[in-house]
Chain A
């Protein structure tokens, strides 16, 4: 059949037509994403309305910010002079004037460089832990950082942290000495026992002795002078660093077949998870002394850190237990089949997988821990949120200022917590090995 001369058959393609207006571009997107059903229309309208309401109420207040003033009254005068009678605006001058207190509390002014340096070094120490692209040798610095950070923040004789570090060296040496004599297990026991003995009985006098020969010391700063964000960071980061290993131990204890170990772990975890953190902090600050030998009086921040660590560790233990439970039984059996002993199996097979599964939970526990550092105000420490803000407000100049300090402190907490949660998502996706 010859179609070439059929008049009703088109031989050339029509130019493509633009899609209907409702099926393309912004309109399509809006139809699909905003107005797909009556309910969605309602939700969109409500959502946009809520955002508009908030913006309309907060934006003018924020736009009328004052950064330079000596007191709240002056601030209000400036705003009224600039924007007319009755205008209200944000008075950030309080942050500008009091930011050293928000950052350092009552830390001596001429020593501000020390917490700053400690913070910078902290970043250096944490970087290789967080990002595996960095040279592995940096981990050595991460290992000694706790001693460095402690010395920088609290000052005092350099030999105290050095003596504390020496405990590990002593443990290592003891293990090496005992191993050829009595085998691995006794060596392990020696590696644990000797440092503990060293710390309990010898570290102090040894540090004193060396110090009297070679006094290298920084001006010491008391815990009571800590405040604001250095307090939050000190408690937060030390808490994070300690609670993970303790949490792993507790989780293993809870999974253990050994009756006593298991019951003790369960009891501890359930007790800690069952009481509010502030009762634990209160116990730490006031009642702990009843349970220690007469005359013991150790540092308030240290006591708070211990309680925070115990609290977070119990939660982490539960998170990791979830991770352990989620591992297929076959993994354990495979480890046994390879002839690995308990610790090798944990270290090489079980924990890497269990921890990977538990990352989101662990990080959210860390975030919780960091946020909970604000509760130390109830035991009389100057946290940035309430302690410092109340101290600022107690002065005549800044009486009656509420929103600005809350917003400032809230923003800083948000930045760090949000950063942590984003990092956990990054880590999760990086470690993802299944091909879904």
Chain B
């Protein structure tokens, strides 16, 4: 910016709006704002006129109509008598589920692959390079389709488990069945289930709530015990024995819950066309999860590698000089510092994974795009409303993730004083 030196009191001329750097930025902003408003007004005016010509308006009322279709994976209670809004909620939860599982698995795999890629071990290093290059340079859609096809084509149908001499048999002592529809695994069920509690539009699974409360409560009590021990130690110099208290605090509540609720394992068994009992994890979920994980992990591996490389060699040498073994050096010295470099791009990978989960449609996983942006949209024909809502929800998810991660990023940032 050029420094203005002339006397600002010299009268105002119209040309100054353009030529005077003091006013120019305001002129530009006003022009930009005007163009933007004009553009927006033009679009909205068109929208209104088009809708008028079609004889319909923007109306979100369809959300409270009966949905009428079934969804194969529901985390909350849903029947075909539920509303479209509820179907949307089911889809949203499915999206969040796959995003959550994917982010965790991709982080773990990505960090491992990134570290191994820097390993001195020639075979492993090359293998990881090949993995990263292959997954980064081939479209995700292909991986999703391919992994799903592997599941459908290579695994046996439930039918194959039938008969005297079945073509396929269950794994892990007859408890787990891998089929080309789902993986049936044993699942914990409660004899005295507490059922669901409805709080307005939100349904609460009381069993799950009790378990979470028991776990978190135990953890908090344990922390309090340890704190108290430290206080006593600081005051008297003697640390009381706490291990049995900790043990009770950590495991007592959950064991109590187990006896109160009366749990047992429910094993899958073949009945009729399908396995019943246990939990059936659908292949569309697993295939999508695997594909998203492998794909995103390849990117995360590169981020991790870049982050580690960004830490100066002196840090490693200093750690070695202190006598730390390579593994400890990595986990205590390098990774904590590399985290600062790694986290911002990692956030955008999480966002990418969440958005990429909308490809679920290719494998018939009923995520938000599949329910609200798919069946609901088709059945009601409310394309405009459904897509606007869909984009808004994805936007909110993205902003929430990036907001949360930015807070975390601030907290691990190098404090410079």
A residues at B contact (CB < 8 Å): 32-34, 36, 39-40, 43-44, 47-48, 50-51, 183, 185-186, 257-261, 264, 270-271, 273-279, 282-283, 286-287, 289-294, 318, 336, 339, 341-342, 364, 367, 371-372, 374-375, 377-378, 385-386, 402-403, 406, 409-410, 413-414, 417-418, 421
Contacts and interface: CB of A to CB of B under 8 A. Distances in A.
B369 A276 contact: yes
Contacts of A257: 25
Contact of B146 (A39, A290, A342, A406): A406
A279 B122 contact: no
A286 to B, nearest CB: 6
B253 interface: no
* Residue from B28, B140, B141, B327 whose CB has the most chain A CB atoms within 10 Å: B141
A48 B384 contact: no
Contacts of B351: 273-274
B212 interface: no
Contact of A278 (B28, B139, B369): B369
A291 B47 contact: yes
Contact of B138 (A43, A377, A410): A410
Given A274-B394, A371-B138, A378-B361, A44 B46 contact: no
28 contacts: A34-B122, A34-B123, A36-B120, A44-B121, A260-B29, A264-B36, A271-B395, A274-B351, A274-B395, A274-B399, A276-B355, A276-B394, A278-B359, A279-B358, A279-B373, A282-B373, A283-B387, A287-B383, A290-B46, A290-B51, A292-B46, A371-B138, A375-B141, A378-B361, A386-B145, A406-B149, A417-B136, A417-B138
A260 B33 CA distance: 7
A321 B119 CA distance: 32
B309 to A, nearest CB: 12
A33 B122 contact: yes
B383 A286 contact: yes
Contacts of B32: 258, 260-261, 264
Q: Which among A47, A274, A413 has the highest number of chain B CB atoms within 10 Å?
A: A274
A36 B46 CA distance: 70
Contacts of A386: 141, 145, 362
Nearest to A336: B1
A402 B150 CA distance: 10
B153 interface: yes
Contact of A410 (B49, B127, B142, B149): B142
B121 A43 contact: yes
B74 interface: no
Interface in B1-17: 1-2
Nearest to A267: B36
A43 B140 contact: no
A341 B122 CA distance: 53
B380 interface: no
B47 A413 contact: no
Contact of B137 (A271, A277, A291, A413): A413
Given A279-B358, A402-B153, A48 B50 contact: no
Contact of B142 (A271, A279, A374): A374
**Which 3 residue pairs spanning A and B have beta carbons closest together?**
A417-B137, A274-B398, A276-B355
Contacts of B348: 273, 318
Nearest to B352: A368
B248 to A, nearest CB: 37
Q: Which of B136, B139, B327 has the most CB of A within 10 A?
A: B139
Contacts of A273: 348, 351, 398
B173 to A, nearest CB: 25
A30 to B, nearest CB: 9
Contacts of A44: 121, 123-124
B43 interface: yes
B137 A51 contact: no
B343 interface: no
B238 interface: no
B390 interface: yes
B33 A290 contact: no
A135 B304 CA distance: 40
A413 B140 CA distance: 11
B79 interface: no
Most A-side CB within 10 Å, residue of B49, B50, B53, B134:
B50
A62 to B, nearest CB: 16
Contact of A276 (B43, B46, B356, B383): B356
A258 B251 CA distance: 58
Nearest to A286: B383
Nearest to B126: A47
Contacts of B356: 276
Nearest to B130: A51
Contacts of A258: 25, 28-29, 32
A413 B399 contact: no
A405 to B, nearest CB: 10
Contacts of B369: 276, 278-279
A341 B384 CA distance: 45
Nearest to B29: A260
B136 A34 contact: no
A414 B138 contact: yes
Nearest to A372: B139
Interface string B111-134: 000001001111110010000011
A43 B359 contact: no
Contact of B394 (A275, A372, A385): A275
A279 B141 CA distance: 15
Contact of B358 (A51, A260, A276, A342): A276
Contacts of B391: 275, 279, 283
A357 to B, nearest CB: 13
Given A279-B387, A402-B149, A40 B121 contact: yes
B355 to A, nearest CB: 4
